[in-house]
Amino acid sequence: MTVVSSGRVVGSWRAAWLRVEGHWAWYRRYWTSNLYSSGLQPLMYLLAMGIGFGSQVEPGPATGGLSYVHYVAPALLVAGAVQYAVGESTFPVLSGFKWQKDFIAVTATPVTPGQVLGGQLIWVSMRLLLSGVVYALIAWAFGAWLNAGAALVVLVGALTGVACAAPLMAIAATTYDEGTRFTSIFRFIVMPMLLFAGTFFPIEQIPVAIRWLAWVSPLWHGNELARGVTLGGLDLVPALGHLAFLLALFAAGGLVARHYFYRRLVV
């Protein structure tokens, strides 16, 4: 008797998409607990900072003459996306290698480590888009948007988030302990970035000597782009510069992550 296997190799994009399908099977079971961190947390920021705290802020040159809620709403979406992307590309990715070991299980099928990474990035992007849309709709109900440029802000948020996710996945792939370095990354990189990279106030308020720290942070580039597409006041060349920065971070991070995914999974 000869057995003929029904298995076959699928194309790379399809394989990455099948990973998204796998994540979706999981998400369907757990979506309620995910909704809080994705859509609701940034909304609480919007309520507290934009509407609560913002009621005490006079529109001025720093806010481009806008009310504070209009000034802060686009940036809060991007900041929320970054925070969310960081969460999704650290411990959950380490788990794929170390605890849940799903990356190890999947790479015993025709799916390759590069395709696993691709699936992970697509999945994070999709969830960033989804939570961005949820945030944008509710923020719209609060009158936090000036115009339909809000739709572009959702895209900018997803791009900024995934640009942060790619290098972090590379770091996760080289983490062999319980992930203590992630805590340092949250404390010493992500938190300062959320507070000082132009989300709540313009970086011109930061002393020149350390302002470069904002310039190299992806969140600042995302914030500038996000405000540009809905509030205006951003010229084409700087806009392209911000876009290029984010794309370059994504591409470089993705290539390094790919290298380390192979290094970790093919031993």
Partner 1 sequence: MVEAKALVKRFGDFEAVRGIDLHVRRGEAFGFLGPNGAGKSSTMRMIACVSPRSDGELSVLGLDPDREGPRVRARLGFVPQQDNLDTELTVRQNLQVYGRYFGLSRAHVREKAHELMEFAQLTERADDEVEPLSGGMKRRLTIARSLVNDPELLLLDEPTTGLDPQARHLLWDRLFRLKSAGVTLIVTTHYMDEAEQLCDRLVVMDDGRVVAEGSPSELITRYSTREVLELRFAPGEQEGAVASVSDLGERVEVLPDRVLLYTPTGEAALERVHDRGVRPLSSLVRRSTLEDVFLRLTGRSLVD
Sites of contact with partner 1 (CB under 8 A):
1-10, 14-15, 18, 21-22, 25-26, 29-30, 100-102, 104-112, 265-267
Judged by beta carbon, residue 6 or residue 180, the one nearer partner 1 is 6
Nearest of 132, 186, 177 to residue 159 by alpha carbon: 132
Q: How far is CA 8 from CA 20, 104, 109, 265, in A?
A: 19, 19, 10, 21
Measured from the CB of residue 147, what is the shortest distance to partner 1 in angstroms? Answer: 41
Contact 96, 117 (CB under 8 A): no
Judged by beta carbon, residue 23 or residue 242, the one nearer partner 1 is 23
Measured from the CB of residue 99, what is the shortest distance to partner 1 in angstroms? Answer: 10
| Residues ≥6 apart with Cβ < 8 Å to 82 | 160, 161, 164, 190, 193, 194, 218, 219, 222
Measured from the CB of residue 27, what is the shortest distance to partner 1 in angstroms? Answer: 11
Judged by beta carbon, residue 53 or residue 91, the one nearer partner 1 is 91
Measured from the CB of residue 98, what is the shortest distance to partner 1 in angstroms? Answer: 11
